[in-house]
């Protein structure tokens, strides 16, 4: 696996699970929201408030499409799948894992929608955003991991790691020198 990308709704745990997964895999971690803030010189919510949702999505797509990394767990914003160019670039970099969390749990976790930097139009609810994005998460995910209420994020990270390894084992295995150190370090062989 070159990279692993975690997608899902705001509050699904992408950043926290991403840090934990990176530690489990021995990879780096990259939070795309922080990269956007650095590139744009503003907080996510400031970008949304001053420029609007479409300009925010443009900035997010530009940041995602500029990514070039190796052995990295990537946590893009939940809206990265809203732009096909961004979603396809993430897929080209390695497996994409959808952290699927029930709406009720997301509503419990996300209390600061108006200040969190969530790309949503005025008047939209978290349920509206989920109804729009869920089919996109399903479309772009190589793997979906259900994250029920009460499941610890460390457990989610271990499940993601185990499912990635299982998926990797099902692929045709390289032979001889093709095996390389990346496969060995990822699988711990």
Q: Where are the domains of the chain?
A: 3-172
- Place 180 in a pLDDT band, splitting at 50, 70 and 90: very low
Model confidence pLDDT, tens digit, residues 30-65: 999 999 999 999 999 999 999 999 999 999 999 999
Model confidence pLDDT, tens digit, residues 116-128: 778 888 888 999 9
Q: Can you list the alpha helix ranges (DSSP code H) found in the chain?
A: 14-25, 32-40, 44-51, 53-65, 84-92, 103-109, 126-140, 153-170, 180-187
Nearest to 117 by CA among 78, 64, 74: 78
DSSP string, 118-151: ----TT--HHHHHHHHHHHHHHH-SEEEE--TT-
- pLDDT at residue number 112: 77
Name the CATH topology of 3-172: Rossmann fold (3.40.50)
Asked if pLDDT for residue 111 goes beyond 70, the answer is yes
Q: Give the whole-angstrom CA distance, residue 50 versus residue 53.
A: 9
**6 vs 175, which has greater pLDDT?**
6
């Amino acid at each position: 696996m070159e990279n692993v990308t975690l997608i899902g709704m705001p509050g699904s745990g992408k950043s926290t699970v991403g840090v934990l997964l990176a530690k489990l895999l021995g990879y780096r971690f990259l939070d795309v929201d922080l990269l956007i803030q650095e590139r744009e010189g503003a907080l996510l919510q400031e970008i949304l408030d001053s420029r609007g949702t479409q300009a925010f999505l443009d900035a997010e797509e530009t940041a995602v499409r500029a990514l070039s990394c190796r052995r990295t767990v990537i946590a893009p914003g939940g809206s990265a799948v809203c732009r096909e160019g961004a979603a396809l670039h993430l897929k080209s970099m390695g497996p994409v894992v959808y952290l699927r969390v029930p709406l009720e749990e997301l509503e419990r976790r996300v209390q600061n929608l108006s200040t969190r930097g969530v790309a949503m139009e005025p008047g939209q609810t978290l349920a509206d955003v989920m109804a729009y994005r869920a089919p996109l998460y399903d479309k772009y995910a190589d793997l979906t991991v259900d994250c029920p209420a009460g499941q610890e994020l460390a457990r989610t990270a271990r499940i993601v790691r185990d499912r990635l390894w299982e998926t990797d084992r099902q692929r045709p295995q390289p032979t001889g020198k093709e095996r390389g150190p990346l496969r060995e370090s990822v699988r711990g062989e």
